[in-house]
Structure 1
């Protein structure tokens, strides 16, 4: 401990984003200025899809979309809005091949979502899978890397291969909600339904955009016999 303290004084850790020295950074390694720009998601929000409402006050309730067309999952929550420092961390992690950034992202998710995850009473964590062609291109599945840390934090087993991506899809960026749903339809499968039958599943991904990917995964898992599906993401688009 003494040696570590001396090293922190002589060579203070740097912020993952702005590279400013941050003595006493502990595990997050984000300076106060960068962390202050992150926008956590809180009430009031939709009790199903988790979309935050624009009003300052009020209670949590179902949004109009979830009333008219209920999604195939019980609940979805994201820790932060996908903008500013959180967006930069995700982009560096996924597209800059900075795998070590899984730790601050997982810590940010754990800080905000642990109560939701506890209430979900999930039996297993399933990361949203990548198609093998995308996996070869990127070199890793970001949901699995974060899931390895969050599974230990939440003490829920991580199932890496229970849900598979059986069809390559075009990138979702730039597509409308309807196009995203059509693009992702039929892209997932559960090779062994016995692995999820009667069990409560927590889906894990990095970003919730329109929810089409989460919804398709949840639908496939429910058809395979899952008793309930919840979803947790680090961020969601504003």
Structure 2
């Protein structure tokens, strides 16, 4: 393509974008409030404030705010204080209020736009951590085909796709496989959750991780049972490191 043709194409694209902005002004995906400018994390300031996002210092086990930095290998009291099977977890905020409402919206067939916006916001808040982590590949916590068929959507997969694209690393949506159907974790006690997902995941045939650093994406982190079992499978498959990215940090009684 010649330089003049390229310039015309770029100008046409810019004009098209401006026309779309005039026809469809950017608005908050939660309340519909007009935004000052287009942004991938399409939330207004008022709605973001209601998310009550976490801020440093963070617990490395769940991403929640802690009173002071923790010693290496230590996690917060809600995580049990010990070492996890993954290396680090980041999360946007607590699973309550408006953030909880939006995550529930994201689980519905019409909620893909919300899932995309939440993934972008998670990246905005933790871009330095994730960029510095030198991620090799991104994968979502896998959903069993029966649940995916019933929901007609897969928000962790949507979020993983956004995060991989923004980080500029490969997305391996089929890297992990669920061996069997499991009960929804929110229906179970903390002890039963680990039993429910024990040995429920494996690395799909044909994937060779070769000491890779995997970013595992989920929508909600509660006891960590699911991401722990996913991390075990990834390490068994050759991963050297596993970082977890979740939009919300819940607690075992919620």
TM bin, normalised by shorter chain, reads: 0.7 to 0.9
TM-score, reference length from structure 1: 0.87
Partner of 1:63: 75
Cα offsets for 1:170-218 (capped at 9, x unmatched): 1111322211111111211113375223211111111111111111100
Q: 2:215 is matched with which residue: 167, 183, 202? A: 202
Tell me by how many angstroms 1:139 deviates: 1.8
What SS does structure 2 have at the residue aligned with 1:44? coil
What SS does structure 2 have at the residue aligned with 1:73? coil
The question of 1:224 aligning with 2:233 is answered no
Which has the higher mean CA deviation after the structures are superposed, 149-158 or 184-193? 184-193
Rate the CA distance shift 1:44–1:60 in 2: closer, same or farther, 3 A. farther
Aligned length: 235
Tell whether the 8 Å contact from 2:61 to 2:88 is kept in structure 1 after alignment. Answer: yes
Partner of 1:28: 41
Partner of 2:200: 187
Tell whether the 8 Å contact from 1:167 to 1:186 is kept in structure 2 after alignment. Answer: no
TM-score, reference length from structure 2: 0.82
Distance, in Å, in 1 between the alignment partners of 2:211 and 2:40 is: 37
Distance, in Å, in 1 between the alignment partners of 2:239 and 2:19 is: 51
Distance, in Å, in 1 between the alignment partners of 2:223 and 2:54 is: 16
The question of 1:39 aligning with 2:40 is answered no
Rate the CA distance shift 1:225–1:142 in 2: closer, same or farther, 3 A. same
Tell me by how many angstroms 1:140 deviates: 2.6
Task: Indicate the structure (1 or 2) with the bigger Cα radius of gyration.
Answer: 2
Distance, in Å, in 2 between the alignment partners of 1:80 and 1:218 is: 22
Rate the CA distance shift 1:156–1:172 in 2: closer, same or farther, 3 A. same
Rate the CA distance shift 1:123–1:24 in 2: closer, same or farther, 3 A. closer
CA RMSD of aligned residues (A): 2.4
Partner of 1:215: 228
Distance, in Å, in 2 between the alignment partners of 1:4 and 1:190 is: 41
The question of 1:170 aligning with 2:180 is answered no
Tell me by how many angstroms 1:10 deviates: 6.9
What SS does structure 2 have at the residue aligned with 1:170? coil
Structure 2 residue runs without a partner (length 5+):
1-13
Partner of 1:92: 105
Q: 1:144 is matched with which residue: 146, 157, 174? A: 157
Cα offsets for 1:20-50 (capped at 9, x unmatched): 3334343333222112212221223323443
Tell whether the 8 Å contact from 2:175 to 2:207 is kept in structure 1 after alignment. Answer: no
Partner of 2:131: 118
Rate the CA distance shift 1:9–1:236 in 2: closer, same or farther, 3 A. same
Distance, in Å, in 2 between the alignment partners of 1:4 and 1:160 is: 30
Distance, in Å, in 2 between the alignment partners of 1:192 and 1:149 is: 25
